[in-house]
Chain A
């Protein structure tokens, strides 16, 4: 019988003189590990562990302090026959509930959240996000036209649905975006930050601004029938 040798057998050829088959390849590419090895290094024990324990202690002290002063809400026993007005979701879903006020449930409740999650997942797999080149570094005139068209279409769409609480933060981010295209490299150094932002920065900043505004509006500015209320006026029962 012929003994078949497994090509993946480890340990085979560990005697370098008998089986000189180990080869080292040196490639031109630098590994990620080497690339990241910039700067001075410290031992994790104790430097990292000490800082982590301080962070933990500060966090626990703050948490306990607030937990002593603030009480977790508890309302009446659940009653399926008595619907509170407004019935609100937990605060982190109030942005979605605010969207539900404007758009059909399929769009606001399913499609938009799914798209947001998909968008988050694919961020690192698109070169435009990885390279992070300034938005206006390429063909400025063409890009300006493209972005202006997208913004006008978006604003028109939001205006048709009367989604003002989405429209206002969108315009608030779109303003600096369009403004940044007119900034010259030789201009004010203070504007350098705005001028060099990549497109991913603008999209994420827009997303965060809209989310924060929607969550705040949903939490503090919405009363019975999801009508607009001013929190300091205290909407009656």
Chain B
């Protein structure tokens, strides 16, 4: 049978020294090796080894936090691919958009995916936040992780906003003009901050370059660090909130 021969081949692969040198544990058939699979792996070790089955239910989270992170992964991948075709210069940036539309293979799809995932991430971050709020997930001992989450919300909005300028079309130019004009309403600091952000008094070449660097380097790095802290703290703060206990506590107080 095909399946059994496939399983045999996988078994033989697992027995090789190369495989064993990468994954030191044996097959995950016992709880010990299953634990090792999580904390022995750099990419998984921020996850808990065990999770409450209640917090695995779809209704507990709708996987909103995970989906937000997955959208970020999609954005990083499509973003790096888009960087290969993009020059942060006036008016070449706009011509690159046209090239993506008419010259680059699957360029339209690539840009659609990036744009769509960006909008979806803003929605997902807000939804995740409100969902956590209504479940009481901000309560001690998770209060600091809630604050980190607020930071991630701001980084997400700023990432989306800096990306908005990059196509250098009318939509981008005027949205950024409208937005950055608001900053100058700030007393004392308003105009200097706006000047620093735009590299000038108007949205121009310097602004495009600054937004490009913010969008592709600075903000993603901040986001990665904050996401790392955010994930790590979930485990350190005792896992996800379980609604049932939260309601029980509420019920007891009510009486």
| Interface residue ranges, A against B (CB under 8 Å) | 32-33, 35-49, 51-52, 55-56, 59-60, 63-64, 66-68, 70-80, 82-84, 87-93, 96-97, 100, 104-106, 109-110, 117, 120-121, 123-125, 129-134, 137, 196, 200-201, 204, 208
A117 to chain B, nearest CB (A): 7
Give Cα distance in the complex from A139 to B50, angstroms.
Answer: 44
The 19 sampled A-B contact pairs (Cβ below 8 Å) are A32-B141, A35-B238, A39-B53, A42-B51, A52-B63, A55-B66, A71-B108, A75-B170, A78-B91, A106-B187, A121-B147, A123-B133, A124-B142, A124-B146, A125-B143, A129-B138, A131-B253, A132-B250, A200-B133
Q: Which residue on B lies nearest to A195, using beta carbons?
A: B254
Give Cα distance in the complex from A78 to B54, angstroms.
Answer: 52
Number of A-B contacts (CB under 8 A): 210
Stretch in B2-10, B111-119, B213-221, B222-230 touching the partner: B111-119
Query: Which among B157, B178, B202 has the highest number of chain A CB atoms within 10 Å?
Result: B178
A34 to chain B, nearest CB (A): 9
B124 to chain A, nearest CB (A): 9
B245 CB contacts on chain A under 8 angstroms: 36, 38
A226 to chain B, nearest CB (A): 11
Within residues 131 to 186 of chain B, which ones have a CB less than 8 A from any CB in chain A?
133-134, 136, 138-143, 146-147, 150, 153-154, 157, 160-161, 164, 167-175, 177-179, 181-183, 185-186
A87-B71 contact, Cβ under 8 Å, with A77-B94, A78-B172, A105-B182: no
Please tell me if B47 contacts chain A, counting CB pairs below 8 Å. yes
| Interface residue ranges, B against A (CB under 8 Å) | 28, 31, 34-35, 37-38, 44, 47-54, 56, 63, 66-67, 70-71, 74, 90-91, 94, 97, 101, 108-109, 111-117, 119-120, 122, 129-130, 133-134, 136, 138-143, 146-147, 150, 153-154, 157, 160-161, 164, 167-175, 177-179, 181-183, 185-187, 190, 202-203, 237-239, 242, 244-245, 250, 253-254
Query: Which among A106, A109, A129 has the highest number of chain B CB atoms within 10 Å?
Result: A109
Give Cα distance in the complex from A109 to B173, angstroms.
Answer: 19
B138 CB contacts on chain A under 8 angstroms: 123-124, 129
B111 touches A72 (CB 8 A): yes
B250 touches A196 (CB 8 A): yes
Give Cα distance in the complex from A53 to B250, angstroms.
Answer: 34
A110 CB contacts on chain B under 8 angstroms: 182, 185-186, 190
A70 touches B169 (CB 8 A): no
B169 touches A75 (CB 8 A): yes
Does more than half of chain B's interface fall in helix, strand or loop, or is it mixed?
helix
B122 touches A92 (CB 8 A): yes
B56 CB contacts on chain A under 8 angstroms: 42, 47-48, 51
